[in-house]
Amino acid sequence: MFGLFFSGDDRAVGLGDQGAEGSFEEVFLDRGDVLAFGFGLLEDMLEQVLTGPHDKLGVSDNGRQGGWVFRCRADAGIGRQLTGPTTSAGFPGEFRPLIADSGLIHIHKVGSTRQAIKAEHLGVDVVIASGYEMGGHTHAVPMHTFVLVPNVTEAVSVPVLLSGGARDGRTLAAALCLGAAGVAMGTRFIASEDNADWHPATARRIVEAGEGDDTIFPGVYSPARGLKSAGLAHLMDLTRQGATAAELLEYKDAAMIRAEEEGDLDSGILPAGQVACGIRDIARVAQLVPTMAAEAAALLSRLASAGQATTAG
Ligand SMILES: Cc1cc2nc3c(=O)[nH]c(=O)nc-3n(C[C@H](O)[C@H](O)[C@H](O)COP(=O)(O)O)c2cc1C
């Protein structure tokens, strides 16, 4: 999935690649600038990244966490297929007019039915209902996918995508049965050959993960989920010892970079979802996605036939 991520604070306006072949690694834009100049700015930036030298174009004084950070091995074809920015980590009210004017499909990620209803009232086109087991930043109030998604699909009439725990055709079929129109995966894409930007050890770590290997830790704007490591244990120690928010952030950033870029999964921190324990191979996205769709279709039609036979009998 290729998406733009807008978050509720100044630090996280990004354009990310969740597995599309050879696409962006990450592009962070300054939230204030985007709000001031609108999507024209975003399109200009995208164009610069796509046509320019595919490397770092600019870095703000906030470094990795804000301002202008482009790190990109771009595939121009994929980049230009951007059709839907995703807003998350807060109410997207101020972004809504920009996205509506741009003609792009507005996708918003929620962790509760109340947030989904609010988003629909705002005019959001698609809602991602993400459950507590999801990787990366999750929600302060734990709502698991299996409970949240049917609640949300009953409450709103816009299409709903299930996020949190999806990994194959069966989980896609289950999402459809819960009333969702599809799934938005994160962790599954980390363990893919297409995730060339991260150290190969990260994909192997996902594949090796067992039940109980994930845990919650304090994230930037909410709790986050990742795989247990010495680095994560040290973060929890620092939190208990009363480290300041800035100290924690600095430690976390450095630890995540150690994991993602250097493959140091001992002192590093790897954000990932609970579904890691069910992922058993390093996939190719170009095969994974159609295979998932075919498996889900076959499964649902088998169930439909079985249902008809039962009714007829
Ligand atoms: C390493 C990582 C980084 C993520 N970054 C973002 C992000 O910047 N914005 C966002 O809305 N979701 C982000 N997510 C969440 C995913 O988009 C997705 O909702 C989540 O991973 C789904 O759960 P799953 O991991 O069980 O598939 C991230 C997830 C992971 C694992």
Give the model confidence (pLDDT) of 256-277 as tens digits: 999 999 999 999 999 999 999 9
Phi, psi of 232 (to 5 degrees): -70, -40
Nearest to 216 by CA among 227, 206, 208, 207: 227
Q: Is 24 in the pocket of ligand 1 (CB under 6 A)?
A: no
Q: What is the mean pLDDT of the chain?
A: 80
Q: What total of structural domains would you count in the chain? A: 3
Residue 131 CA to ligand 1 center (angstroms) comes to 11
Q: Whose CA is nearest to atom 29 of ligand 1?
A: 136
* Rounded-to-integer distance, Cα 236 and Cα 31, Å: 30
Q: Is 88 in the pocket of ligand 1 (CB under 6 A)?
A: yes
pLDDT at position 3 is 39
pLDDT at position 67 is 33
Note down the domain range covering 40: 1-13+23-85
101 is a domain residue: no
Answer yes or no: do 171 and 215 share one domain. no
Answer yes or no: do 300 and 154 share one domain. yes
CA-to-CA dists, residue 280 to 205, 270, 276, angstroms? 10, 17, 8
Residue 21 CA to ligand 1 center (angstroms) comes to 17
Answer yes or no: do 299 and 262 share one domain. no
Residue to mutate, 110, 137, 285, ligand 1, most ligand atoms under 8 Å from C-beta: 137
C-alpha dihedral over 184, 186, 190, 191, to 10 degrees?
Answer: -60
Number of residues that make up the chain: 313
C-alpha dihedral over 202, 16, 127, 39, to 10 degrees?
Answer: 170
Answer yes or no: do 138 and 28 share one domain. no
Phi, psi of 243 (to 5 degrees): -60, 150
**Under 8 Å CB-to-CB from 103, ≥6 apart: which residues?**
none
pLDDT at position 38 is 61
Answer yes or no: do 62 and 134 share one domain. no
Cβ atoms 65, 107 nearer than 8 A: no
Q: Is 192 in the pocket of ligand 1 (CB under 6 A)?
A: no
In this predicted structure, the answer to whether residue 42 has a pLDDT above a threshold of 90 is no
Region 274-299: what's the mean pLDDT? Answer: 94
Cβ atoms 232, 219 nearer than 8 A: no
At residue 129, the 3 state secondary structure works out as strand
Q: Is 203 in the pocket of ligand 1 (CB under 6 A)?
A: no
Token digits of residue 25:
């690694």
Answer yes or no: do 27 and 162 share one domain. no
Residue 76 CA to ligand 1 center (angstroms) comes to 23
146 is a domain residue: yes
Whether the pTM exceeds 0.75: the reply is: yes
149 is a domain residue: yes
Answer yes or no: do 267 and 295 share one domain. no
Range scoring the smallest mean pLDDT among 1-5, 137-141, 206-210: 1-5
140: domain CATH number is 3.20.20.70
| Ligand 1 atom nearest 89 alpha carbon | 11
Q: Is 277 in the pocket of ligand 1 (CB under 6 A)?
A: no
Answer yes or no: do 73 and 45 share one domain. yes
Answer yes or no: do 29 and 176 share one domain. no
Answer yes or no: do 64 and 213 share one domain. no
* Rounded-to-integer distance, Cα 168 and Cα 185, Å: 10
Answer yes or no: do 288 and 172 share one domain. yes
List 108's β-bridge partners, or say none.
Answer: 87, 127
138 is a domain residue: yes
Answer yes or no: do 9 and 47 share one domain. yes
Residue 164 CA to ligand 1 center (angstroms) comes to 8
**Under 8 Å CB-to-CB from 165, ≥6 apart: which residues?**
131, 133, 134, 145, 171, 273, 274, 275
Residue 18 CA to ligand 1 center (angstroms) comes to 8
253 is a domain residue: yes
In this predicted structure, the answer to whether residue 76 has a pLDDT above a threshold of 70 is no
Residue to mutate, 2, 9, 110, 130, ligand 1, most ligand atoms under 8 Å from C-beta: 130
79 is a domain residue: yes
